[in-house]
């Protein structure tokens, strides 16, 4: 299943363009939707400390919120980079529930969502090598 994210509200862009959120998250994180997603995916609960600064804890909590909304409870999140695309793979095609969520971004920061799953989640649909080959074959369509 391939979804068209342009049909949904771009919450990452809204966060990036909000001056207060930009101040909390930092200029590097709000540079692009990919950068904000990457910062969120890298966030861990261990970064929030009772002795931490209010600003540092606010940033970590905001990034954890992004991670929670971006993930689908499929297990490990891997970074993916192939050609013009980079992003994240959540889940493994060889581990139950045999579902993989790809969130890929092109050089123009367009977001592509791809879900790969068996209808009933009882058997693998493809191998990791096949998934890697599929991602490597994807080429973004130029947006004018």
Encode pLDDT of 4-60 as tens digits: 656 666 788 888 888 888 899 999 999 999 999 999 999 999 999 989 899 999 999
Helix axes 54-70, 33-42, angle to 10 degrees: 100
Q: What is the pLDDT of residues 85-113, one digit of tens each?
A: 999 999 999 998 899 999 999 999 988 89
Summarize the confidence of residues 109-119 as an average pLDDT.
88
Percent of the chain with pLDDT over 70: 92
Q: What is the reported pLDDT for 120?
A: 80
CB half-sphere exposure, 94, CA atoms < 13 A = 5
Q: Could you state, in order of their start, the residue ranges of all structural domains in the chain?
A: 10-70, 77-137
pLDDT band of residue 144 (cuts 50, 70, 90) is low
Phi, psi of 20, deg, nearest 5: -65, -45
What are the CA-CA distances from residue 123 to residues 25, 129, 132 (Å)?
40, 16, 19
Q: What is the reported pLDDT for 4?
A: 61
- pTM given for the model: 0.84
Tell me if the bond preceding 97 is cis, omega within 30° of 0: yes
Q: Token digits for 109?
A: 């920061």
Q: What is the reported pLDDT for 37?
A: 94
Q: Going by C-beta distance under 8 Å and a sequence separation of 6 or more, which residues neighbour residue 12? A: 33, 36, 37, 66
């Amino acid at each position: 299943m391939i979804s068209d994210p342009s049909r949904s509200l771009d919450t990452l862009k809204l966060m990036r363009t909000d001056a207060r959120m930009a101040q909390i998250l930092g200029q590097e994180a709000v540079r692009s939707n990919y950068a904000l997603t990457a910062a969120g995916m890298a966030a861990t609960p261990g970064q929030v400390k009772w002795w931490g600064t209010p600003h540092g804890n606010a940033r970590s909590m905001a990034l954890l919120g992004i991670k929670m909304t971006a993930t689908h409870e499929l297990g490990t999140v891997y970074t993916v980079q192939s050609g013009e695309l980079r992003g994240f793979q959540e889940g493994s095609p060889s581990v139950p529930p045999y579902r993989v969520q790809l969130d890929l971004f092109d050089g123009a920061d367009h977001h592509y969502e791809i879900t790969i799953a068996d209808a009933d989640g009882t058997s693998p649909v493809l191998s990791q090598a096949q998934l890697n080959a599929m991602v490597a074959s994807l080429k973004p369509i130029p947006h004018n």
